[in-house]
Amino acid sequence: MTAENGFEILLVTFPGLEEELKAEVKSLGFRPTGTIPGGVLLTGGWTDVWRANLRLRGVSKVLVRIGSFRAFHLAQLDKRARKMPWADFLRPDQPVRVEVTCKGSRIYHAGAAAERISRAIAEELKAPVSDDAVVCVKVRIHNDVCTFSLDSSGDGLHRRGHKEAVNRAPMRETMAALFLRQCGYTGDEPVLDPMCGSGTFPIEAAEIACGLFPGRSRTFAFEQFATFDPLAWQALQAMEKPRQPAFMFRGSDRDPGAVRMSQENAERAGLAACTAFSQQTVSELQRPDGPPGLVILNPPYGTRIGDRKKLTGLYRSIGQTMTERFSGWRVGIITTDAVLARATGLPFNHTGAPVLHGGLRVSLYLTGRLG
């Protein structure tokens, strides 16, 4: 296995949004080789790994498969793990941690397996092992096959690096980006979220329209790998060509704290000039000046019995505001409940596959342009 003729790269995402991620992967010139539940597969080298981390909006983690072998007991795992070419990938001066999952295998104790692999790396590579290391070797022991991957991302990629303030139940940036894509949003229309919380949808949509790279403000675990090439990395970063969109990205919320948070998050992302946030309820919302675009929101879902009854009025008022004041706009609502979606009275013509969000299954309900 050599770096540039390629290894398998797993782009981890949310089950239910694999096809949207695959489309994004293709749009950036990568050639995906397939999808699995919760992931898109790619064959590539280190440049692809760096570029995927820097540019892909819908990926939670970029994992690099570095090897696999069979092992039926811990002594065999230990022996074979010692033979892995660790120094080809990892640096002896960087702390490492090991995470193991076991399924359907004779080696069933993940902790014992992690301890053997950690010791093998510590003794063969002479790298320190530490629970809070940025560099993580992920090992899957399934049906007696041990598959070794490096987590090239480090912190989850929804952490764009400029969002400090979050409210309750924020939508992850990665998921928001894929829902925007599911709405057919490509960066050439205004976007408005009338229940914006911490501002995830307007900020993500504005970044896309501005041509900003999602990974521009953060660091990645691959910067600590033996294979890292700072000059090649700088060249990839320099490909960002920001532009100023001709329209605004708006958010509003009834909660003044959420509005403040959204403004601060947008400022830190360098998007103050093309975003605007205001405090108002959805029924107070007026159609903004300018061309029509996309309204996207994830209203409160309600998880307890009786919530649906309370929320029906809220969903009805969303529908009423949209129908009365937003002709020409499209509306995308992300919710757990088809009955609540229907309570809006909006003419949805597309329902997305269910996606796990905070332990619940949510789907996108999308209209065409309202009449």
Q: Indicate which single residue of 150, 171, 209, 322 sits in contact with ligand SAM (rule: CB under 6 A).
A: 171
Kindly give, in sequence order, each residue whose CB lies less than 8 Å from that of residue 307, ignoring residues fewer than 6 positions away.
301
Q: Indicate which single residue of 161, 270, 300, 354 sits in contact with ligand SAM (rule: CB under 6 A).
A: 300
Take residue 117 and report the two structure tokens written for it. 């692999």
Residue 281, interface with ligand SAM (CB under 6 A)?
yes
Residue 25, interface with ligand SAM (CB under 6 A)?
no
Residue 174, interface with ligand SAM (CB under 6 A)?
no
Q: Which is nearer to ligand SAM, 223 or 255 (CB)?
A: 255
β-pairing, 7-12 with 275-279?
Answer: unpaired
Positive/negative CA dihedral, 80, 82, 85, 90: positive
Each residue of 94-127: b (16+ CB within 10 Å) or e?
A: bebbbebebeebebeebeebbbbbbebbeebbeb
**What amino acid is encoded at 59 in this protein?**
V
Q: What Cα–Cα distance (Å) separates residue 174 from each residue in 64, 184, 337, 357? A: 19, 16, 22, 12
Q: Which is nearer to ligand SAM, 29 or 306 (CB)?
A: 306
Kindly give, in sequence order, each residue whose CB lies less than 8 Å from that of residue 182, ignoring residues fewer than 6 positions away.
17, 20, 332, 352, 364, 366
Q: Which is nearer to ligand SAM, 146 or 296 (CB)?
A: 296
Closest distance between ligand SAM and the C-beta of residue 168, in Å? 7
Residue 258, interface with ligand SAM (CB under 6 A)?
yes
Q: Which is nearer to ligand SAM, 97 or 172 (CB)?
A: 172
Q: Indicate which single residue of 13, 174, 298, 321 sits in contact with ligand SAM (rule: CB under 6 A).
A: 298
As a whole number of angstroms, the distance between CA 32 and CA 89 comes to 23
Which of 297, 319, 278 has the alpha carbon at shortest distance from 195? Answer: 297
Residue 207, interface with ligand SAM (CB under 6 A)?
no
Q: Please, are residues 216 and 185 in contact by the beta-carbon 8 Å criterion? A: no
In the complex, which residue's CB is closest to ligand SAM?
197
Residue 169, interface with ligand SAM (CB under 6 A)?
yes
Q: Which is nearer to ligand SAM, 80 or 254 (CB)?
A: 254
Which of 57, 10, 54, 60 has the alpha carbon at shortest distance from 36? Answer: 10
DSSP designation for 172: P
Closest distance between ligand SAM and the C-beta of residue 167, in Å? 5
Residue 170, interface with ligand SAM (CB under 6 A)?
yes
Q: Which stretch binds ligand SAM (CB under 6 A): 34-42, 96-104, 162-170, 303-311?
A: 162-170
Kindly give, in sequence order, each residue whose CB lies less than 8 Å from that of residue 363, ignoring residues fewer than 6 positions away.
334, 335, 336, 338, 351, 352, 353, 354, 355
Q: Indicate which single residue of 24, 207, 253, 337 sits in contact with ligand SAM (rule: CB under 6 A).
A: 253
Closest distance between ligand SAM and the C-beta of residue 255, in Å? 4
Q: Which is nearer to ligand SAM, 254 or 350 (CB)?
A: 254
Residue 307, interface with ligand SAM (CB under 6 A)?
no
Enumerate binding residues for ligand SAM (CB under 6 A): 167, 169-171, 194-198, 200-201, 253-255, 258, 281-282, 298-300, 314
